[in-house]
Structure 1
């Protein structure tokens, strides 16, 4: 491979995709740093020869100095070409992880996604069919997720990505009122198709109230693990003690409630389970959903709460 071809290929790799751009002088400096001595005149000539329909290069001649860029929809060139297994990885990432990515990241990856689509379309065999053979579902009752306005989604992600505040009207659930809030986004959590924005409001440092900057020491992962998205009822964990039907206990052996979960067989054929969990409304809903498959032994107040709820439910059917 000639030095000219290597230099041109290196140059093309340094040209950004629209809306970003790079000047000839900046390209000259990049090439010099990588051991390709040349002149700006030579680079300008190379760019003119390589631009057009073949590569999708373009120049913003309205600026001084001119800026070169790849067209937003230019095809992704890969040497060596994208393998089917790599294309499959991009396809799955777009489908399952796409909602987790910031719009700017999705835009940067869109040429790879389109290339992956074309590679799989030209591929025969099991790799091409794999995306149709895998799905991700929730264990609970399937619900149709709400539709999020793309402009709202992009604005929230942009603010979160760049650590900026934003102002927006919010439809409050408890009283139906619409109120303007200044929001300091801390993170987003996806749960069963619903996107939750973890934030502060106004000039308060507490999470879900306003602060002008990220509160010191805030950890989104810890916030979720501690039950922040499960309608937390208190800061004191629950020391659960349950008696479970054998079939339900089998499921919890595979997917434990907590890291300190302990299970042992009981004399009546059920399984005794102890575990420390966050005190949340979600735990109560889960226990009620198990119906006669579970008996809450401890803590006593939770046993009484569950029993009273089940009695009221039974009374409605009498």
Structure 2
């Protein structure tokens, strides 16, 4: 390898390091190494540490180092503007800011951390712009309206989400201390299989070590979590989308039924517009709609129907043969 190629690779490595240094929290050399490996820049930890030490000691980049205990942490100085290769346009800033709100709990924390510089720049562009452009105004023109009583998200113990997403992303076993709904505290080794956001809450689908059945654990009930270096082969028989379609997150067992009921017209019009299923049919009567649809039976379905009170009646469930449903 000639000197020019070596110099170019070193320059690329330093640029990628600078892009991944956050401003709001400390990041370690090991975390930087892991993020670089994910984009194909696999370097040993001593190389990363050496470059970070040089960047901190230089006068070119306002980077702080927390050396009170090992491993050392790094972040941009609070007065620094961070580092980006290209400046984001106001349109790109708008898209990033909206994407961050939607994806922050659905992407691995390592990937979100690697994007932190872009999110911070997007926020600065939006908040510091002197021109009230149409793009900036757009943020005050759109909102996601709740379908049910809005609830605040439960608090997660520090570091739990990072460890869970890391184990899920890398297919590694997760050591967990968990408090169940009955208040009992358990220590388990689990195989993380999927992450689901339901309203304000996050749930992890997993398998306990030594068992083949799938379980759901709430992240806010996790007291502590630690991603191990022990990897596993992801089960080929597990499909997260099918798991969700079977109403597992809404207290169902995947049992298909033909649901029929009558509902007053003013209460049921929206069901004609937003159907329960592809095969939904209805008959219009003088005072009501008679609706029929194939759905997955669940407690949430029962709660939904009960929510109409006396406006819905004649409710019946007929089991659907699996071959017929397919």
Fold similarity call, TM over 0.5: yes
Q: 1:12 to 1:115 in 2, by over 3 A?
A: farther
Normalising by structure 2, we get a TM-score of 0.69
Following superposition, the deviation at residue 57 of structure 1 comes to: 8.9
**Which 5+ residue runs of structure 1 have no aligned equivalent?**
1-7, 28-47, 59-70, 302-318
Answer 1 or 2: which has greater strand percent.
2
CA RMSD of aligned residues (A): 3.2
Normalising by structure 1, we get a TM-score of 0.70
Partner of 2:222: none
Q: Which of 214, 218, 223 is residue 243 of structure 2 equivalent to? A: 223
Q: 1:202 to 1:9 in 2, by over 3 A?
A: closer
Following superposition, the deviation at residue 132 of structure 1 comes to: 3.4
Q: Is this contact kept in 1: 2:90–2:135, CA < 8 A? A: yes
Q: Which of 131, 139, 145 is residue 131 of structure 1 equivalent to? A: 139
Q: Is this contact kept in 2: 1:205–1:215, CA < 8 A? A: no
Following superposition, the deviation at residue 13 of structure 1 comes to: 4.5
Mapping of residues 84-123 of structure 1, within 5 Å: 84-123=90-129
How many pairs were matched up? Answer: 254
Higher RCO structure (Cα 8 Å, ≥6 apart): 2
Q: Is this contact kept in 1: 2:100–2:119, CA < 8 A? A: yes
Partner of 1:248: 267
**SS in structure 1 at match of 2:276:** coil
Partner of 1:64: none
**SS in structure 2 at match of 1:243:** strand
**Which 5+ residue runs of structure 2 have no aligned equivalent?**
1-6, 22-28, 42-53, 65-73, 217-231, 320-326
**SS in structure 2 at match of 1:298:** strand
Partner of 1:165: 173
Q: Is this contact kept in 1: 2:195–2:204, CA < 8 A? A: yes
Displaced runs of 4+ in structure 1, greater than 6 A? 8-11
Q: Is this contact kept in 1: 2:178–2:186, CA < 8 A? A: yes
* 1:176-208 deviation digits (Å, cap 9, x = unpaired): 211111111111111110101111112112211
Q: Is this contact kept in 1: 2:251–2:298, CA < 8 A? A: yes
* 1:126-172 deviation digits (Å, cap 9, x = unpaired): 32233233332420122222111131111111111111111212112
Q: Which of 203, 207, 211 is residue 204 of structure 1 equivalent to? A: 211
Q: Is this contact kept in 2: 1:169–1:178, CA < 8 A? A: yes
Q: Is this contact kept in 1: 2:246–2:255, CA < 8 A? A: no
Following superposition, the deviation at residue 240 of structure 1 comes to: 0.3
> Whose radius of gyration is greater, 1 or 2?
1
Q: Is this contact kept in 1: 2:263–2:290, CA < 8 A? A: yes
